[in-house]
């Protein structure tokens, strides 16, 4: 198997780099992945995969953090100008930018699903001589959109895996599903895909990531501790008035938001495990001589368990409401995203650990159940649904040298990690008949 598989990987290596750099240059943030989705769908269709697209894989009323209709329309037009394939675009219009590709082998066996994400962050990319994407001409051309977490590489890995699995189709059994998820960065895309039933038939599930501070050449096999998270916006609405002539007639939304922000950071830590709170955005007011009538906060909570996250979230709600009462303003809380805590399936982790160690010498180390205690990923919704249905699920992280940490404007990774990831995932699919549960 190894020689033939190595040949397949070698054939696809340059294409992986091309895809990654193309997606990086035309970065698209959550629910705006129009160009990316059309290119992915077209490639998968050419390979002969059975496709489910858009509304077939995303339940509309389960979406969170959806941009305005005007923003969706503007970004769709932008995608067309940047080369989105118009034949596929109607499937994704309105922000339904999800794809599930299925390979039916015609042989009995379990259903194996791989999930990759496609969205970029709302971040402006560095334009400096030290930043390789800028120097080599593939830095993002879209303002406030940047692949600073490796999802461009994830999407390329998904396409590369699709090619390799097709080449080795005669050796596969059961059914393979490739899930291309939008809107992971805000923890928004997985939940509506789960609600649409895309993993209800899945027996074995793997989500992937590259980097995350792990050693180059290593594979973190399993996931003990991604944090559960809740992401939400808070809008305070007060009353504007002249700040000099009639300040007593105003209701200060900015002051309510400022008091809430300070109060949120005073939430006590939980003795049961790690917790986090962050106010990432506070926008308010219109001018120096006007009592601010409007304020927006973008907030997230995190917890090592669902229960700890729920504790932090409830404390946050109390503080937000209290600040509104103190200033006599109204407030609205808008859910924007969420992810669960999820434990990997030990027998599935053990199988992957053994196969990777035996068949992928490119991996310098394979670590089981390594903790990732400071980040969250909404792939946990997929994991929990698969496990609830009696299946097995885990998360794999492929280590890579990084130029800067995730979510940094200078983020970049060693592109060689993509070929290693494709090979590892292909090995798991090819060796799946050996997966036995006592």
Would you state the pLDDT for residue 112?
98
Query: Which parts of the chain sit beneath pLDDT 50?
Result: none
Spans of all domains in the chain: 1-226+340-434, 228-338
3-state secondary structure the chain: CHHHHHHHHHHHHHHHHHHHHHHHHCCCECCCCHHHHHHHHHHHHHHCCEEEEHHHCCCHHHCCCCCCHHHHHHHHHHHHHCCCCCCCHHHHCCCCCCEEEEEECCCCCCEEEEEEECCEECCCCCCCCCCHHHHCCCCCCCCCCECCCCHHHHHHHHHHHHHHHHHCHHHCCCEEEEEEECCCCCCCCHHHHHHCCCCCCCCEEEEEEECCCCCCCEEEECCCCCCEEEEEEEEEECECCECCCCHHHCECHHHHHHHHHHHHCCCCCCCCCCEEEEEEEEEECCCCCECCCEEEEEEEEEECCHHHHHHHHHHHHHHHHHHHHHHCCEEEEEEEEEECCCCCCHHHHHHHHHHHHHHCCCCCEEEECCCCCCCCCCHHHHHHHHHHCCCEEEEEEECCCECCCCCCCCCCECCHHHHHHHHHHHHHHHCHHHCCCC
Provide the annotated binding site: 149, 151, 185, 209, 407
Provide the annotated binding site for Mn(2+): 149, 151, 185, 209, 407
Would you state the pLDDT for residue 224?
60
pLDDT tens sequence across 264-311: 999 999 999 989 999 999 999 999 999 999 999 999 999 999 999 999
User: What is 228-338's CATH topology?
Assistant: Alpha-Beta Plaits (3.30.70)
User: What is 1-226+340-434's CATH topology?
Assistant: Aminopeptidase (3.40.630)
């Amino acid at each position: 198997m190894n020689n033939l598989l190595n040949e397949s990987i070698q054939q696809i290596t340059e294409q992986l780099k091309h895809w990654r750099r193309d997606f990086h240059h035309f970065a698209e943030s959550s629910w705006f992945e129009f160009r990316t989705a059309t290119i992915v769908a077209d490639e998968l269709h050419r390979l002969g995969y059975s496709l489910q697209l858009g509304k077939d894989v995303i339940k509309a009323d389960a979406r969170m953090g959806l941009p305005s209709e005007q923003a969706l329309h503007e970004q769709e037009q932008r995608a067309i100008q940047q080369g989105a394939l118009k034949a596929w675009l109607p499937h994704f219009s309105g922000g339904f930018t999800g794809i599930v590709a299925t390979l039916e082998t015609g042989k009995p066996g379990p259903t194996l699903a791989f999930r990759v994400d496609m969205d970029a962050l709302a971040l402006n990319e560095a334009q400096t001589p030290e930043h390789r994407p800028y120097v080599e001409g593939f830095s993002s051309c879209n303002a406030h959109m940047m692949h600073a977490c490796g999802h461009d590489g994830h999407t390329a890995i998904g396409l590369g895996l699709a090619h390799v699995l097709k080449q080795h189709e005669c050796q596969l059994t059961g059914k393979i599903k490739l899930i291309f998820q939008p809107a992971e960065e805000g923890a928004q895309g997985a939940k509506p895909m789960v609600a649409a039933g895309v993993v209800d038939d899945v027996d074995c599930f793997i989500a992937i990531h590259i980097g995350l501070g792990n050693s180059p050449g290593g594979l973190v096999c399993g996931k003990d501790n991604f944090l559960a998270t809740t992401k939400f916006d808070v809008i305070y609405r007060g009353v504007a008035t002249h700040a000099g002539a009639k300040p007593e007639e105003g209701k200060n939304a900015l002051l309510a938001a400022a008091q809430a922000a300070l109060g949120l950071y005073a939430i006590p830590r939980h003795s049961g495990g790690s917790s986090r709170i962050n106010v990432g955005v506070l926008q308010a007011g219109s001018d120096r001589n006007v009592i601010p009538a409007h304020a927006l906060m973008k907030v997230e909570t995190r917890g090592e368990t669902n229960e700890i996250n729920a504790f932090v979230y409830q404390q946050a709600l109390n503080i937000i409401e209290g600040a509104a009462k103190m200033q006599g303003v109204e407030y609205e809380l808008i859910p924007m995203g969420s992810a669960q805590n999820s434990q990997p399936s030990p027998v599935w982790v053990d199988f992957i650990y053994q196969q990777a160690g035996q068949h992928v010498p490119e991996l310098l180390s394979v670590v089981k159940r390594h903790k990732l205690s400071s980040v969250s990923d909404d792939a946990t919704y997929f994991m929990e649904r698969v496990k609830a249905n009696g299946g097995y699920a885990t998360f794999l992280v492929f280590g890579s040298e990084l130029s800067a940490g995730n979510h940094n404007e200078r983020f970049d990774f060693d592109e060689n990690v993509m070929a290693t990831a494709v090979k590892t995932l292909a090995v798991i699919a090819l060796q799946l008949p050996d997966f036995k549960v006592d």
